[in-house]
Copies of this chain bind each other. A is one copy, B any other.
Amino acid sequence: MKTFKIPEASIIRLSVYSRYLYQLDQKGVITISSGEIAEGVGVSPAQVRKDLAYFGEFGTRGVGYNVRDLHGHIMKILGLNHKWPIVIVGAGNLGSALTMYKGFLQRGFEIKGIFDSDPEKIGTEVGGYPVQPLENITKVVRDHMVEIGVITVPAPYAQETATMLVEAGVNAILNFAPRVINVPPHIEVRNVDLAVSLEILTFNLVMKRD
Chain A residues with CB under 8 Å of chain B are: 1, 6-9, 11-12, 15-16, 77-80, 84, 86, 92-94, 96-98, 100-104, 106-107, 109, 147-148, 150, 171-172, 174, 178, 188, 190, 192-208, 210
Contact = CB atoms under 8 A, between A and B. Distances in A.
B192 A205 contact: no
Nearest to A98: B194
A62 B175 CA distance: 37
B201 A174 contact: yes
A78 B201 contact: no
A205 B188 CA distance: 7
A111 to B, nearest CB: 11
B107 A195 contact: yes
